Chains A and B, each alone.
Chain A
């Protein structure tokens, strides 16, 4: 199963490192990353594979949300299917 992680917020040192560390610790493999910094706003989108995730996707989502809340970032973890459904016929 694949999921999309989006991180939006004020740019700061180590955002990418924090998110990817959490992925690595939980067995989530990062397949693709794209990121842009517009003025001060950091926007990163990661496509990840959660097949070998050690915890449930719900728990992983909670971890990411907590990480985001701690650093003033909006982090969303959503299954890839929702984007495919909405934007592809």
Chain B
């Protein structure tokens, strides 16, 4: 029989330390739904998604109950809608409304893929889709949008960067009455992964199979608790403990992914072995860093601690899953992490430190509330900086900023639920306007020439 201690440890992780499966995300290719007529396109999308995902929510709930582990979200990710728009033309917001109506029908939590990949330039459909994002996100609740504006292989499309600065602002303004929530569903990527199960950046890449199951795990609370048991251990002990814990967390993800794949008759894609925090007390990545010995997240030493954590999570998780993908690492979304919110509110965690942290963690400047009067070119410049870090370091970086319309530094913006809430953080106000206005492309770096 299984060791009693192991059984109780698993139950303790789930009951008291917030171990959960963050999401089962079904990736669905819509390439075969492309049509010259947008009405026909929408009908085909509806039929295909309903056919493939009709059992997604029920299956997730059944697995959750049988294994006794919570599965928080069931989501779908689709082919970047800009690709469909290229064929169909018409008003792109109709696709957003179609995805919204499908989400309601299926009872899923999010639908990702209102996206465009423009790292090297705008193809047919791309610009129209980007310009429709403010309207699409303010008129829907479940649809998420992402735009890839750079990569190590192609450099950075600065015209797209300039456009995204305006788009983020316009999206916040369009949903100002609803806590600017539109901007929380929009992410700008450099080196976007094509199999990411996490929102807002999930989309189904062109190289993916027709339909696939990807799973994202969570569990910062479990890691923190494991570290609290070795207060005197050195950093090698810390890394080893994180590895062992990440292994266990990821194994649950792998088990759920295989089971979901079997029951839905859809191939298993990847497990994204991310540490994804939630606003719940005890489910914070910042608290893990503090458990390692920092007074507050944001103190000098934070980047080193995060680098150790991110690396150890990957080492432990890789061994536990047959296919690892997506973003995989530690997330640092400010509003979704109680420890980050506290550190930001007390002034210890600033945007510059967060930027440094993004060089060593799995994503980027995530869920950061900025002043409502921030000019678009400043937002663009933040995106450019972040994309440069990703481009040079062969990693995914992302920017998800929420301009809090009508609010100033120090005020609070609340979304509720998994998105949490946080203080308006200060940005550097010196103008990058002339730099952003130059446009063009930042050439691919020498690192791209690896052949």
Contacts and interface: CB of A to CB of B under 8 A. Distances in A.
A binds B: yes
Interface of A: 4, 6, 32, 34, 36, 43, 45, 47, 57-58, 61, 74, 76-87
Interface stretch (B171-179, B246-254, B277-285): B246-254
Contact of B67 (A43, A45, A74, A79): A79
Contacts of A34: 1, 4
B91 interface: no
A83 B3 CA distance: 9
Given A6-B8, A85-B254, A87-B9, 6 more contacts: A45-B7, A61-B68, A76-B11, A80-B2, A82-B10, A87-B248
Contacts of A78: 10-11, 66-69
**Chain A contact residues: helix, strand, loop or mixed:** strand
Contacts of B69: 78, 82
Interface string B251-263: 1101100000000
Contacts of B4: 34, 36, 43, 45
B251 A58 contact: no
Interface string B299-325: 000000000000000000000000000
B67 A32 contact: no
B68 A87 contact: no
Contacts of B11: 6, 76, 78
A36 B7 CA distance: 14
Interface residues of B, number: 22
Contacts of A61: 65-66, 68
Nearest to A87: B6
Contacts, number: 66
Interface string B46-65: 00000000000000001001
27 contacts: A6-B7, A6-B8, A32-B1, A36-B4, A43-B8, A45-B1, A45-B4, A47-B1, A58-B66, A61-B68, A74-B15, A76-B68, A78-B10, A78-B66, A79-B66, A80-B2, A82-B69, A83-B7, A83-B10, A84-B2, A85-B251, A85-B254, A85-B255, A86-B248, A86-B252, A87-B3, A87-B9
A12 to B, nearest CB: 20
A57 B255 contact: no
B384 to A, nearest CB: 43
A57 B65 contact: yes
B65 A86 contact: no
A82 B252 CA distance: 6
A32 to B, nearest CB: 5
A68 to B, nearest CB: 13
A28 B350 CA distance: 57
Contact of B255 (A77, A82, A87): A82
B3 A77 contact: no
B10, B248, B255 — most chain A CB neighbours (10 Å): B10
Contacts of B3: 87
A9 B9 CA distance: 16
B425 to A, nearest CB: 38
A10 B78 CA distance: 50
Interface in B1-44: 1-4, 6-11, 15
A87 B15 CA distance: 18
Nearest to B319: A89
A81 B67 contact: yes
Nearest to A80: B2
Given A6-B11, A45-B4, A85 B62 contact: no
A32 B4 CA distance: 12
B17 to A, nearest CB: 13
Contacts of B15: 74
A16 B15 CA distance: 23
Contacts of B251: 85-86
Contacts of B68: 61, 76-79, 82
Given A79-B67, A81-B255, A86 B6 contact: yes
